[in-house]
Amino acid sequence: MTSPRVLDGSSAGGQFLRTALALSVLANEPIRLENVRGDRPDPGLAHQHLAVLETIAHVCDADVSGAELGAKTIAFEPGLETDGKRTGRGQLAGGEYDIDIGTAGSVTLLFEALLPLATVLESPLSVTVTGGTDVAWSPPLDYFRYVKLPLLRRLGLAAACEVDRRGFYPAGGGRATLQVAPSTLEWVDLVDRGPIEGLRVYSTESASLADRDVAHRQADGALERLGRDATPDLEERCETTADSACPGSALVLRLDHGTGVAGVSALGERGTPAERVGEDAADAAIRFLEGNAPVDRHMADQLLIVLAVAGGRVRIPTVTDHVETGCALLEDFGIDVDRKRDGEATVVSVPSPLPETR
C-alpha cells in the first residue's frame, strides 16, 4: 500500500478539499487531509463537503475514512484500476449517480469537483444532485452553465448541465444534472483578453416573486448602472421565472471577449431591492472591464486544477486566498507553479502538468 500524501487544510476552506480530492484521483494517489476547512468559523466537513467526498468516493470506488459531518481529518484512496492493480494512473468507469445533499448546500460546487475527472473517464458520467442551485459563497447555476462550462469547452471539456428546478437558501430542493464525457484538455493560454464583444444577462426569480417583476428589475438595474457608454453590445437578455421551495433570485452577467468569457453575479436578499442586486453585479462587471485579465476573480482559482491537468498560463485579476492555497496545494503534489506580477494582474503558469493527463 502506498503511503498517503499528507495535506494540511488549516489555512484553507472547501475549495482546498475539492481540489485535493480531484488531484488524488487524477494522480491515483492516496491522501490524508488534516485540519479540514481549518480556516473557517465552523471547521470540518459540512453537508456540502461530505456530499462531495462521498460522491467522488462512489465514482472512483475509493476507500475513505472520516466521511462524517464535522470530521476534521479524512483519508482517501482512489480505487482506479491500472492493469489490474490499484497503482499508477487509472481510468474511471463513469455511470449514473443520484445525490441528495440534504440541505441548501451548493450543487455547483459539487459539480465543479467532478469536472476534472473527465480526463480519466472511460465512459460518460451523469450525476444528478439535489440541493442549493443559487446560494451564497458559491457560483450561481447560470454562472456555471453559461460562463464556466463554455470557457472549459473551449479548452476541450465535453460537459453539459440541465436544470430541473431551482433551489434557494434556506430550503434548497433544487435539482440539476451534470453530464460529462471523456475529454482531453488543451494547453491553457489565457493571458490576453482581446476586445469585449458582447454582454449576456441571465436573471432568475422564484415563482413567488414573479408578481414583483424581480427578474426584470434586476436586469434593468444592471443595465442602467453599466450605462450605454461602458456597456458592450447586449447579445442576450434572459429572464426566468422558476418553481422553487422558497423565494429567491439570482443575476449573472456574462462578458464575451476575444479569447473567452468572464462573468459576475449577485444574489437577491430579503430587504434588498431587485434594482440594487442588478447594480451590485454591474459594479463587479465594471471592475472587470477596468482591468486586463481574461477571466474574472472567481474563475481564477477554479482554473488552477485545469492548469494542473493540461498545463499553461492564465492572467488573473487578483491573488485571492483561494488562489494562494490552491497554488500551494498544486506544489504539494509536485507541480511547479510560477506566479509573476503583471501590473495590477498576476500571470500564473504551470509549465508541466500532472504526468499522463494530456
CA distance linking residue 116 with residue 124, whole number of Å: 13
Q: How far is CA 17 from CA 40, 63, 286, in A?
A: 13, 16, 32
* Whether the Cβ atoms of residue 29 and residue 90 lie closer than 8 Å to each other: no
Which entry of 49, 257, 298, 322 is annotated as an active-site residue? 322
Query: Mean pLDDT, the chain, as a whole number?
Result: 94
CA distance linking residue 116 with residue 61, whole number of Å: 17
pLDDT at 90 (0 to 100): 53
Over the chain (358 residues), the average pLDDT of each successive run of 10 is 90 96 96 97 96 97 97 95 49 94 97 97 97 97 98 98 97 98 97 93 98 98 83 88 97 95 97 97 95 95 96 96 96 96 92 72
pLDDT at 201 (0 to 100): 97
Residue 257 among the catalytic residues: no
pLDDT at 356 (0 to 100): 57
Instruction: Note the pLDDT tens digit of each residue in 51-100.
Output: 999 999 999 999 999 999 999 999 999 988 665 444 344 589 999 999 99
Q: Which domains occur in the chain, in start order?
A: 1-90 (3.65.10.20), 91-184 (3.65.10.20), 194-290 (3.30.360.20), 300-358 (3.30.1370)
pLDDT at 354 (0 to 100): 87
* Whether the Cβ atoms of residue 55 and residue 97 lie closer than 8 Å to each other: yes
Task: Pick the closest to residue 225 from 174, 273, 291 (CA basis).
Answer: 273
DSSP state letters, 68-116: STT-S-EEEE---BBTTBSSSS-BB--EEEEEE-SSS-BHHHHHHHHGG
pLDDT at 344 (0 to 100): 83
For 107-140, letters b (16+ CB in 10 Å) and e give bbbbbbbbbbbbbbbeeebbbbbbbbbbbeebbb
pLDDT at 1 (0 to 100): 59
Give the 3-state secondary structure of residue 138.
Answer: coil
Query: Radius of gyration (Cα) for the chain, nearest Å?
Result: 20
Query: What is the pTM assigned to this prediction?
Result: 0.95
Tell me the one-letter amino acid at 254: R
